[in-house]
Amino acid sequence: MSTLILKASLTANPQAKIGIVVSRFNELITEKLLAGAVDLLTRTGIPAENIQIVWVPGAVELSLSAQWLASRVDGIIALGCVIQGATSHYDTVCSMVSSGLQRVALDTNKPVIFGVLTTETLEQALDRSGAKCGNKGAEAALTLVEMLNLQQQLKQK
Ligand code: INI
């Protein structure tokens, strides 16, 4: 018997149904993350009608809305931005959103990708949403494509 090694492709299944939850808080940043994610998904072959986008008030609301959306889609991208300098309860918000999203992924058995920027400054957030350091929304979308392919591959083994 040989070793099972799986490395999923980065080519999207055009039939995949994708959910995106995105926070309105720090919308200057999150709209850029959303644009990066949608651009990546459509360029890898996911038709626009297979993408469902849900706006929520803030990062804290991402987890519950992801849970609501989960039954309608194959996988979810959660996009948000928490900036330390502007948030006295930064640690609380970060821990709620990170553990909440992880729980939704494990409870629903669907990939829920963490595309939430947690930065010290607005400048760092801008850098990670399309300026100097790429676009975290696009990265999250590519991660979802890979995870969906991996899940399919594992089901077939
Ligand atoms: N929500 C964010 O998405 N980013 C933040 O930086 C932020 N700050 O600064 O507080 C923030 N707060 C709102 C929070 O996500 C909830 O919407 C709110 O607490 C109501 O539940």
Average pLDDT over the chain reads: 95
For atom 17 of ligand 1, the residue with the nearest CA is 58
* Alpha helix segments (H runs only) across the chain: 27-43, 62-70, 90-108, 122-127, 136-156
Q: What's the predicted TM-score (pTM) here?
A: 0.96
31-59: average pLDDT: 97
Beta-strand relationship, 75-83 and 112-119: parallel
User: Measured in angstroms, how far is the CA atom of residue 139 from the centroid of ligand 1?
Assistant: 23
Q: Is the pLDDT of residue 104 over 80?
A: yes
117 Cβ inside 6 Å of ligand 1: no
**Residue 85 — very low, low, confident or very high, per pLDDT cuts 50/70/90?**
confident
- Half-sphere exposure for 119 (CA within 13 Å, toward CB): 18
